[in-house]
Amino acid sequence: MPSRKHLANAIRVLSMDAVQKANSGHPGAPMGMADIAEVLWNDFLKHNPQNPNWADRDRFVLSNGHGSMLIYSLLHLSGYDLTMDDLKQFRQLHSRTPGHPERGYTAGVETTTGPLGQGIANGVGMAVAEKILAAQFNRDGHTVVDHNTYVFLGDGCMMEGVSHEACSLAGTLGLGKLIAFYDDNGISIDGHVEGWFTDDTPKRFEAYGWHVIRAVDGHNAAAIKAAIEAAKAETKKPTLIITKTIIGFGSPNKQASHDCHGSPLGLEEVALVRKTLGWEYEPFVVPADVYAGWDAKEKGAAAEKSWEAKFAAYKAAHPELAAEFDRRVIKGELPADFAAKAEAFIAESQAKGEKIASRKASQNSIAAFVPLLPELLGGSADLAGSNLTLVKTSKGVTAEDASGNYLYYGVREFGMSAIMNGISAHGGFIAYGATFLMFQQYAANAVRMSALMKLQNIFVYTHDSIGQGEDGPTHQPIEVLASLRMTPNLDTWRPADAAEAAVSWKAAIERKTGPAALVFSRQNLDHVARTPAQVADIAKGGYVLVDSVGEPEAILIATGSEVGITVQAAAALKAKGRNVRVVSMPSTSVFDRQDEAYKESVLPISVGARVAVETAHVDYWYKYVGFDGRVVGMTGFGESAPGPALLEYFGFTVDNIVSTVEELLED
């Protein structure tokens, strides 16, 4: 049997060889963390390479994602479906070994990492999911949820603010099954970090409520093993293991410097590394005994088989819970009757005809859907009373009782969103989290990552416009809607009333291939009359709300809080003899996915006179109105004043919309 060091060296040489072949990448971190990875994966990690989706597997996250060859080497060596040819294609087009680990590209990669700090935040989310599922499903004598989340992270992750947000909350929630390894090598791209990073990291994490194991020799297998055992013994707190390592370990001329951080070692240095490590094999050659020392297939299959026996006993003792676990966690399916019940609620919302803020309509939707969906896991970044995300059936998750369905995230918009990504990547939940629309900008990269990973998340954003009023331009989003709409694979909904709000929630809940942003008003909105056919068409993202007689002279397009006033303007125009159509477009991306015939029926190309109305930046809407069209919108920031005064000041009035349409038709 090869020594531990020899097994770890396989990671080192595969990593440096792949980076060298690609002439691009980061060899330093994989070479430095190889010994830690060897101990963790061979002695502790519970996983099955033949079933990467086993529900009770441990989760492994490489937060310092630039070191991606570390995880690719681990997956290949331990028996996952990742071949040596895949390693040779590192960083090449459409390979299964992209430059940073990407969920969905590579079996065994749990989350996409690269933007530093978000991986550890995702790990917090995974540990949150495990803790809540354990509290909801485990019963005396039957433990079917029992796994750890392990995270590797580096100096860069420690510096990023999102790691502070997430790790602080992890301590408060007592995530005892979260174990993080800090690669304390003192090097970042710019060089030795003491010039810009001198935090007392152990004290910081102890202040968060973490169990901290200091100054572990990251190249001493016995010390690493002892640290992991101590971490696993602490069940009430997350653990940070601070490992002192040498970046680029084994490179005689470049180790311990930034020269090996983000660029290939060079052919001469690669040859010297082989000599230094005693690795006698050609590039991309691993001897049989090393493969045997790493192979986790048999052990993994046995571990999963043992769990299946536990689950069978659980099913016999608690059949209803087992069926729910199978539906939620293993299959990720909605209840069979959800769609019908949701449609009934939409019809009820339309029939009630309430004049309420769309944020209140959103709360009503949550209140209707939470009893139907125990997998709905809500939260807000300290604004629950304003975002209206709490309902009667909401129960807070705490360190002592994690059986609830609501997370108090505190003022942590970025952390909340990144944690939601981890929860969704883990499985078993549909996560929703809320803040003001303006403060989505704090969280924008995590929202982007959710879309990139095709994760189902529901991002709830309220106080969506200048209608928010007195809080002023710091709180009034102008550019945010356009940013959300231009994010690939993100469906953004801005409902006009309770019926559209209910449809947006149903759509977000049913969408399994990506996130949704649901954008709601602070102020009350008029109810809009609709036929049953129009109610059904809401789900298409855009539909004819008020039609003309025959082909219209002009089409007015509006969303959200501006739909009501646009309908009023249309009535005023019709009273003047103008033949106009009003299109409500709550979701542009959903509308864009409809077939051409439907889109032509709503926005016929023959009608070039178009006016869009929205309390957001005008530029987005030229996509629909054309260069010759008009937009009643915003080109600058808002002001501080009561909402109605601002709407009038910035031209969101019947008179201004009417005059804009008339000017367009006269041109």
DSSP code, position 329: I
Is residue 419 within 8 Å of residue 121, measured between CB atoms?
Answer: yes
Pairwise CA distance, residues 564 & 541, whole Å: 17
Q: Is 413 a catalytic residue?
A: yes
- The DSSP line for 578-598 is --EEEEE-S-HHHHHTS-HHH
What CA–CA distances, in Å, run from 625 to 488, 570, 621, 622, 632?
21, 17, 6, 5, 11
Tokens of 533: 């056919």
* Beta-sheet pairing, 356-357 with 580-584: unpaired
Burial of 606 (C-beta count, 10 Å sphere; 0-12/13-18/19+): exposed
DSSP code, position 44: I
Residue 207 CB partners (closer than 8 Å, separation 6+)? none
Task: Annotate 604-658 with three-state secondary structure.
Answer: CCCCCCEEEEEEEEHHHHHHHHCCCCEEEEECCCCCCCCHHHHHHHCCCCHHHHH
Is residue 419 within 8 Å of residue 178, measured between CB atoms?
Answer: no
Output the CA torsion sign for 45, 245, 216, 240: negative
Query: C-alpha angle 268/271/275, rounded to 5°?
Result: 135
End-to-end CA distance of the chain: 85
Annotated catalytic residue, options 130, 413, 500, 614? 413
Is residue 423 within 8 Å of residue 429, measured between CB atoms?
Answer: yes
Dihedrals phi, psi of 146, to nearest 5 degrees: -165, 80
- Residues labelled as active-site residues: 413
